[in-house]
Amino acid sequence: MLPGHIRMGDRWTMTDITRTLKNNRTVVAIYVILLLFFILASSVSSQFRTSYNAANLLRQVVAVGLVSIGQTIVILSAGIDLSVGSLISLSSCLTSGIMIGHQNFTVLIILLVLLLGVGVGLSNGVLITRLRIPPFIATLAMSTMLQGVVLLYTKKPVGGVTRGFMFFANGNIGPVPFAFLFWVAILIFFYILLRRSSFGLHVYAVGGNQEVARLSGINVNRTKIWIYILSGFMAALTGLFLASRLSIGDPLVGQGIDLESITAVLIGGTTFAGGRGGIEGTIAGVFIIALINNLLNLLNVTGFWQWIIKGIVVISVVAAYREEK
């Protein structure tokens, strides 16, 4: 059984809880660090504690949170997907660019954009498995091509979205943003997929040792292709979210999100070596990045200093909890 894999109906004792915490000390450590960041932010900024900022923070986690789910699965398999940023930009621009002239076809446009994400992910998977191009090179080349396509389509913000579609990113259910609840539902689905399904076991096996996975009867190439399809799907979904939130498509909106998603995954304890980590750690990584961005903005820290501070914080956090391994 994988670490953190809990059987339904098991009776828990203090010994079981202690053993589980010990086996998942990396995840425990990162949530302790998240709690410390939250306490720090609450103490240094009174604006941080407002309900308005709380709702804003929950919306901020969604973009990086969605794409980080796909990135987690990729990195668990000992791969990487650098194409997600450009795919997010293309998805955002196509959504708003088409929707402004075809407002009666919102659902069809959404499906078309998601299909685009699946197609890009499939292409990445084929390049990596059939042509044996390393994931870094294959997805970097795909990122370059997609960004070129975006800039051929438009070099400036384009289009617009329907009022109904804006609810996706900007609507609320009670005091809670709808987008955040949507992200939580997606998280639950992917957690179950990774921890309770044969596909999840295959992902961990491929990331742990591809040759052993192959000898165990796992179709490694097929698993990898599905992994990149899921990553492409989640990137396209992120593009839809950003088009809804901004009410317009921006050809550069995805820049930096690819690296932030990788950072969130690594902070959450999933390693480039593959086979270790999971969605539960990525959640904390996403919130830490969102807290840093939110707090620095509230403190009116300039963009240049934000880059420096975020880099220092990320290195410190990863180094701190890896010492606990």
CA–CA distance, 50 with 63 (Å, rounded to integer): 22
Instruction: For residue 25, tell me if it sits in a domain.
Output: no
Instruction: For residue 10, tell me if it sits in a domain.
Output: no
Instruction: Report pLDDT for 314.
Output: 73
Per-residue pLDDT of the chain (325 residues; tens, 9 = 90+): 444 444 444 455 656 555 555 557 778 888 998 999 899 999 998 899 999 999 999 999 999 999 999 999 999 999 999 999 999 999 999 999 999 878 789 999 999 999 999 999 999 999 999 999 999 999 999 999 999 999 999 999 999 999 999 999 999 999 999 999 999 999 999 999 999 999 999 999 999 999 999 999 999 999 999 999 999 999 999 999 999 999 999 999 999 899 899 999 999 989 888 998 999 999 999 999 999 889 988 988 887 888 888 788 778 766 765 554 4
Q: Which residues pair with 249 in a beta bridge?
A: 158
Q: Which residues pair with 172 in a beta bridge?
A: 177
CATH of the domain at 218: 1.10.3470
Domain carrying residue 145 = 49-322
Q: How many domains does the chain divide into?
A: 1
Instruction: For residue 151, tell me if it sits in a domain.
Output: yes
How far is the CA of 81 from the CAs of 110, 139, 223, 279, in angstroms? Answer: 22, 6, 15, 16
Instruction: Report pLDDT for 304.
Output: 81
Residues in the chain, overall count: 325
Instruction: Report pLDDT for 1.
Output: 43
Contact 279, 188 (CB under 8 A): no
Contact 112, 106 (CB under 8 A): no
Instruction: For residue 271, tell me if it sits in a domain.
Output: yes
Instruction: For residue 189, tell me if it sits in a domain.
Output: yes
Instruction: For residue 17, tell me if it sits in a domain.
Output: no
Instruction: Report pLDDT for 11.
Output: 55
Instruction: Report pLDDT for 311.
Output: 80
Q: Is 141 exposed, middle or buried (0-12, 13-18, 19+ CB in 10 A)?
A: middle
CA–CA distance, 33 with 285 (Å, rounded to integer): 10
Which residue spans within the chain are E strands per DSSP? 172-173, 176-177
Instruction: For residue 18, tell me if it sits in a domain.
Output: no
Instruction: Report pLDDT for 203.
Output: 97
Task: Give one DSSP letter per residue of 156-213, joined into a string.
Answer: S-B----HHHHHHHH-EETTEEHHHHHHHHHHHHHHHHHHHSHHHHHHHHHHH-HHHH
Task: Give one DSSP letter per residue of 7-48, joined into a string.
Answer: -TTPPP-HHHHHHHHHHTHHHHHHHHHHHHHHHHHHHH-TGG
Structure token pair of residue 34: 């998240």
Q: Is 46 exposed, middle or buried (0-12, 13-18, 19+ CB in 10 A)?
A: exposed
Instruction: Report pLDDT for 309.
Output: 81
Q: What is the CA radius of gyration of the chain?
A: 20
Instruction: For residue 15, tell me if it sits in a domain.
Output: no
Structure token pair of residue 233: 């799907």
For residue 142, count other CB atoms closer than 10 A to its CB: 23
Backbone angles phi, psi at 177, to 5 degrees: -60, 135
